[in-house]
Chain A
Amino acid sequence: MTALAELDRMILLSRDHVAPTLSDDEICQQFQSLKVLCVSDPHSLSSHSAQTVLFTLVALLSRMGMQVGLNLPDTAVLLPQPPFLGSSLCEALLASRRKLVTEATVRSDSDFKADVIFVVGDFPGKLHDVPCWYLTGSDWLGSVAMRGIAKPEPWSARLPVGAMVSAALAACEAFKFVMRSLPLRNPSDAVFFEPSFSSSWNFDRITVPLGERIDLGFVDFVSAGAISQAALFALSRFPGIEMSGRIFDDDITEASNLNRNLLTVATDLGEPKVQIASKHCSVGVRLEPVFGRCPGHTSDTRLARRVVVGVDDIPSRWRIQERAPNWLAVGGTSHYSVSSSVHTPGSPCSGCLHPIDDDGGEGRIPTVSFVSFWAGLATTVRLLRDALGQPYPPERQHLWLTPLRMDLLHAGMWIPVAPRRDCPAHCLASISMI
């Protein structure tokens, strides 16, 4: 197994903009040579949210093949952080080296010479003069800001969604750092990879009962690929979650999945994706693995009241939509962009949003860890909001988000879904137009 095979899809994505004269090997080496130092303070690390920032950030960086250094006070892991294993923070993070992507290391050497530094909350020591971002946030909001722009702020959030947002924003800054070092096909493309001096994203606060179990009921996940695994990665970090359900997929884990399948480790290669997703979730998330074609292909599978779809194949989304009329969340990615939507009775369905089979399913799909993660995280937030009776309003039925330049006004756009007369799933909203 080589890094080229594991990072193949990210290299493919970078080729949207990298000059064609560069070989895959050269692009790969550039990502692998980046050294990222993660630091934090004891106060922050006594919170589950700051721990979640670190685990998520290390996962996203490692899956881009980068080398991670840690300068952290060790502390007990407060809640499970699958697929990381270990009772102490440093032990669990260090043990992940070469397990997420085989040549991505995680070290705590004192001579680690970082190219980029991420500060989770605050850091009492001296920081070298390299690009440095502070990661801050609250329950539902995450931010990154370059040194000098924002003040350090210890983490104290109770819920981990803002933490995961913050980690995803930081991972993107590391990705762009590498892209800036590569010659681009078109010089004007540099605008997509400029550093964000300060950026944030807010999924908007909702009321979550303190200390109570949050019962999501029975949920079906169609696909055990990157988006479903990202959604389950995020769900597994939410305190008090209780969920049962099934996960459907007929695919086997390959090396090229390691760059984005967040619950997968290198030793899982060759195993069915459903088994991996099922076994690496936290205790409160109980999924029955169903190895086989997605349920839209057969008529004998009744789907749950809530269904999460992460399949790329558009006709499969239509078939599932027809059989899951109650609540359907669809997460998808297209190159650097993320699409997340929810479809409920009477609202325009996923056929209205994705009316055309783009037939991209047979080829290699370009993607990178943090983009897939955003799609899964947005889906998880929708699932939580629905379970807590606080769904987004119709004008937020669709989120189109491109997490490259989250400092810009239109990086993330909430959009309603317009019904289509030619909806392939013949939903009520489309029929009412005829």
Chain B
Amino acid sequence: MTVVVEKKFAVDVVYNGVTKPIEVQPEEQVTALLHKAISSFGITQNAHLLSLYRQDGSLVPEGESVERAGLMPNEVLLLRPNTVKGGGGLLQLACSIVHKAFRILRECGRGECECVVYWTGPAHESLIDGLEHPDHQRSALGYQVNDGWLTTFWKALGASKRSIKAQIHTHPTEAFHSATDDEWPIVSQAGFISIVIPDFALGQPSLENAWIGRLHINGKWQKLASMREALILA
């Protein structure tokens, strides 16, 4: 005889002051719970901005299962706006990665060509712990990444559950986002970060003079006032 143990339980989700019980399974992803809650309340406006919060004020991590997130039966969760999803959070990275990026951009560009690198990290974390220097064609006016390299790179990212967190490229003089930069980022997801380094990266290895922008959900680039609005240097 097989005994089936019922593991399903309900949590109470509060939205606009109204509480609804939502049933979950322990192994279910928190993202699935979030979607169920959004659907249950019939939210169609800015649903992508909503997250679940515990009564201790902490965010329920969306990359976890219900069980690993520690959700308990009848726990009260607040459904409220949090963030522009799609990598819109602050990215943490070590200063050494900034220095490494500058070194590659300088050595490859030699003070006469644009160059590009990508910062990478675990797909579900706001952490940058890797750097990729793509196979590319370059000139003083721009760069073009090799299609074959890109295909291999995407596959490798998928297999290792990693993602590109930001693209960093150089300009000959002024740092700005050109129409081409606007049109062809390596990632077109809202929240993606693009950084443009002036003077072929020949200056100090710092992001203080860089142009830093975030791709908005409306498809437009928003220039950030400083790197601190996108990055935390450890």
User: Known: A192-B16, A336-B16, A424-B90. Contact between A415 and B45, CB under 8 A?
Assistant: no
A413 in contact with B225 (CB, 8 Å): no
A358 in contact with B81 (CB, 8 Å): yes
Interface membership of B103, Cβ < 8 A: no
Stretch of A66-74, A131-139, A159-167, A402-410 on the interface side: A402-410
A57 to B25, CA, bound (A): 47
Interface membership of B126, Cβ < 8 A: yes
**Which of B17, B44, B57 is in CB contact (< 8 Å) with A411?**
B17
Closest Cβ–Cβ distance, residue A235 to chain B (whole Å): 26
What per-residue 1/0 map shows which CB atoms of A209-247 lie under 8 Å from chain B? 000000000000000000000000000000000000000
Interface membership of A387, Cβ < 8 A: no
Name the B residues within 8 Å of A186 (CB-CB). Answer: 42, 44
Q: Can you name the residue of chain B whose Cβ is closest to the Cβ of A348?
A: B57
B126 in contact with A356 (CB, 8 Å): no
A424 in contact with B228 (CB, 8 Å): yes
Name the A residues within 8 Å of B225 (CB-CB). Answer: 315
What per-residue 1/0 map shows which CB atoms of B200-222 lie under 8 Å from chain A? 00000000000000101000001
B55 in contact with A413 (CB, 8 Å): yes
B56 in contact with A356 (CB, 8 Å): no
Interface membership of B74, Cβ < 8 A: no
B55 in contact with A424 (CB, 8 Å): no
Name the B residues within 8 Å of A408 (CB-CB). Answer: 17-19
Q: Can you name the residue of chain A whose Cβ is closest to the Cβ of B53?
A: A415
B229 in contact with A16 (CB, 8 Å): no
A418 in contact with B18 (CB, 8 Å): no
**Which of B76, B83, B222, B232 is in CB contact (< 8 Å) with A356?**
B83
Interface membership of B78, Cβ < 8 A: yes
Q: Can you name the residue of chain B whose Cβ is closest to the Cβ of A357?
A: B229
A191 in contact with B90 (CB, 8 Å): no
Name the B residues within 8 Å of A191 (CB-CB). Answer: 18
Q: Which of A388-414 contact B (CB under 8 A)?
A: 397-398, 400-406, 408-413
Q: Can you name the residue of chain B whose Cβ is closest to the Cβ of A334?
A: B81
Interface membership of B98, Cβ < 8 A: no
A401 to B14, CA, bound (A): 11
**Which of A358, A401, A410 is in CB contact (< 8 Å) with B76?**
A410
- Chain B contact surface mostly: loop
What per-residue 1/0 map shows which CB atoms of B44-79 lie under 8 Å from chain A? 110001000101111100000000000000001010
A409 in contact with B19 (CB, 8 Å): yes
Interface membership of A337, Cβ < 8 A: yes
- Chain A contact surface mostly: loop
Closest Cβ–Cβ distance, residue B170 to chain A (whole Å): 26
Interface membership of A417, Cβ < 8 A: yes
Name the A residues within 8 Å of B16 (CB-CB). Answer: 192, 336-337, 402, 404-405
Closest Cβ–Cβ distance, residue A312 to chain B (whole Å): 12
Interface membership of B80, Cβ < 8 A: yes
A186 to B80, CA, bound (A): 19
A356 in contact with B14 (CB, 8 Å): no
A73 to B58, CA, bound (A): 51
A397 to B225, CA, bound (A): 29
A189 to B43, CA, bound (A): 9
What per-residue 1/0 map shows which CB atoms of A317-359 lie under 8 Å from chain B? 0100000000000000011110000000000100001011111
Interface membership of B121, Cβ < 8 A: no
Question: For the side of the interface on B, what is the size category?
Answer: 35 or more
A353 to B90, CA, bound (A): 14
Interface membership of A422, Cβ < 8 A: yes
A411 to B45, CA, bound (A): 20
Closest Cβ–Cβ distance, residue A374 to chain B (whole Å): 12
**Which of B14, B18, B126, B214 is in CB contact (< 8 Å) with A413?**
B14
A259 to B232, CA, bound (A): 39
A403 to B17, CA, bound (A): 7
**Which of A348, A415, A424 is in CB contact (< 8 Å) with B232?**
A424
A359 in contact with B80 (CB, 8 Å): no
Interface membership of A188, Cβ < 8 A: yes
Closest Cβ–Cβ distance, residue B13 to chain A (whole Å): 10
Interface membership of A416, Cβ < 8 A: yes
B19 in contact with A418 (CB, 8 Å): no
Q: Can you name the residue of chain A whose Cβ is closest to the Cβ of B15?
A: A402
Interface membership of A180, Cβ < 8 A: no
Q: Can you name the residue of chain A whose Cβ is closest to the Cβ of B14?
A: A410
Q: Which of A58-107 contact B (CB under 8 A)?
A: none
Name the A residues within 8 Å of B126 (CB-CB). Answer: 422
A315 to B90, CA, bound (A): 12
Interface membership of A147, Cβ < 8 A: no
Closest Cβ–Cβ distance, residue A311 to chain B (whole Å): 14
User: Known: A16-B45, A356-B89, A422-B89. Contact between A192 and B18, CB under 8 A?
Assistant: yes
Interface membership of A185, Cβ < 8 A: yes
Closest Cβ–Cβ distance, residue A365 to chain B (whole Å): 12
User: Known: A410-B14, A413-B55. Contact between A422 and B90, CB under 8 A?
Assistant: yes
User: Known: A410-B76, A418-B58. Contact between A359 and B17, CB under 8 A?
Assistant: no
Please give me the 6 A-B residue pairs with the lowest Cβ-Cβ distance, nearest first: A356-B83, A411-B17, A402-B17, A418-B58, A418-B57, A186-B42
Other 4 A-B pairs with CB < 8 A, given A191-B18, A405-B18: A358-B81, A359-B214, A415-B57, A422-B126
9 inter-chain pairs at a CB distance below 8 angstroms, sorted by A residue, are A188-B42, A315-B229, A334-B80, A336-B16, A355-B89, A356-B89, A401-B17, A405-B16, A415-B57
Contact residues of B with A, CB < 8 Å? 12, 14, 16-19, 41-42, 44-45, 49, 53, 55-59, 76, 78, 80-84, 88-90, 92, 126, 214, 216, 222, 224-225, 228-229, 232
